[in-house]
Amino acid sequence: MLDVRLYLAQRLSAMLMVPLVLGHLVVMTYAIRGGLTTAQILARTRGSVFFMLFYGLFALAVSVHAAIGLRVILHETARVTGVWLTAFTVVAGIGLLLLGEHAVLVVTWP
Partner 1 sequence: MSEHGAHIDVTIRRGTGASGWFQTYRVPRQENQTVLDVVSWIQQYADPTLSYRFACRVGMCGSCSMMVNGQPRWTCRTHVSKVLQSNSVRIEPIRNLPVINDLVTDMDPFFDKWVRAGGVHHPTRTRKDAIEAIDPGSAARVEIDARIECINCGVCYAACDTVAANPGFLGPAALQRAWTLVNDPKDGARQQILDAVSGKGGCHNCHSMGNCTRYCPTDLNPLAAIAGLKRETVRSLWGKRKNA
Partner 2 sequence: MAVGWISRAHPLWFAFLLHRLSGLALALFLPVHFSILAMALRHPARLDGFLQWAQAPAVKLAEFGLVFLLSVHFFGGLRLLALEFLPWSERQKTLALGAVSLALLLGGVFLLRAW
**Residues of this chain that bind partner 2 (CB under 8 A):** 11, 14-15, 18, 21-22, 25, 28-30, 32-33, 35-39, 41-42, 59, 62, 66, 69-70, 73, 77, 95-96, 99-100, 102-103, 106-107
Kindly tell me which of 6 and 16 has the beta carbon lying closer to partner 1.
6
Please check whether residue 88 is in contact with residue 70, taking contact to mean a CB–CB distance below 8 angstroms: yes
Q: How far is the CB of 4 from partner 1 (least distance, A)?
A: 4
Distance from C-alpha of 92 to C-alpha of 64, rounded to nearest angstrom: 9
Distance from C-alpha of 30 to C-alpha of 53, rounded to nearest angstrom: 20
